[in-house]
Amino acid sequence: MKLPGKLLSKALLSSFLALLVAVYLGAAETASQAVKIKIDTILASNQSGEFDSRLKPLEKQLKVLKYKSYRLLKEESQNVASQGNGSFQIPGGRTLIVSPQDFHDQQIALKVRLQGNEKPLLDTTLKLQNKGNFILGGPPHEGGVLVLAIWATLQ
């Protein structure tokens, strides 16, 4: 006859394992070779007072820019290999190129270029927290400005 203690210990062990699996699935600290880059392309303007409900998670961050309206134009994600280049088409004939460099201490080093039709507009190198984001904005578009919210998540 099995003692209750054995049953309890087995149940505890299985729950612990379930928790470990959940943490593992949520965690991203692994030796990985790819970074998921997500770009939200947003049109910010003062032409109306509308706030696109799809941008709710970004609301506080976008309000920093103090525009009256924000509209999500496009959402795109790519898995980009370390040292590789992820290329994202931006309205107005522009291209955003993101290149993950390395990963250390929960920080992802990125090289980012905003490319115009013929010439680069901006190059930046930065370190972003894993699953973190930053905002790159300014290029004019349709009476407003383009705002790019850029996330990087280690895969």
Residues that bind other proteins (CB under 8 A): 7, 9-11, 13-15, 17-19, 21-22, 25-26, 44-46, 57, 60-61, 63-67, 92-94, 106-107, 114, 116-145, 153
Question: 152 near 132, Cβ under 8 Å?
Answer: yes
Distance of closest approach, residue 88 Cβ to other proteins, in angstroms: 15
Question: 121 near 112, Cβ under 8 Å?
Answer: no
* Cα–Cα distance for residue pair 68/56, rounded to 1 Å: 14
Give just the sign of the alpha carbon dihedral 146, 149, 150, 155: negative
Sequential DSSP letters for 6-51: HHHHHHHHHHHHHHHHHHHHH---S--SEEEEEEEEEEEESS---B
In terms of phi and psi (left: phi > 0; alpha: psi -120 to 50; beta: otherwise), the region of 27 is beta
* Pick 75 or 142: Cβ nearer other proteins: 142
Tokens of 96: 């955003």
Distance of closest approach, residue 89 Cβ to other proteins, in angstroms: 13
Distance of closest approach, residue 151 Cβ to other proteins, in angstroms: 9
* Pick 22 or 85: Cβ nearer other proteins: 22
* Pick 2 or 31: Cβ nearer other proteins: 2
Distance of closest approach, residue 110 Cβ to other proteins, in angstroms: 9
* Pick 12 or 85: Cβ nearer other proteins: 12
Distance of closest approach, residue 33 Cβ to other proteins, in angstroms: 20
* Pick 17 or 85: Cβ nearer other proteins: 17
Tokens of 87: 């290329």
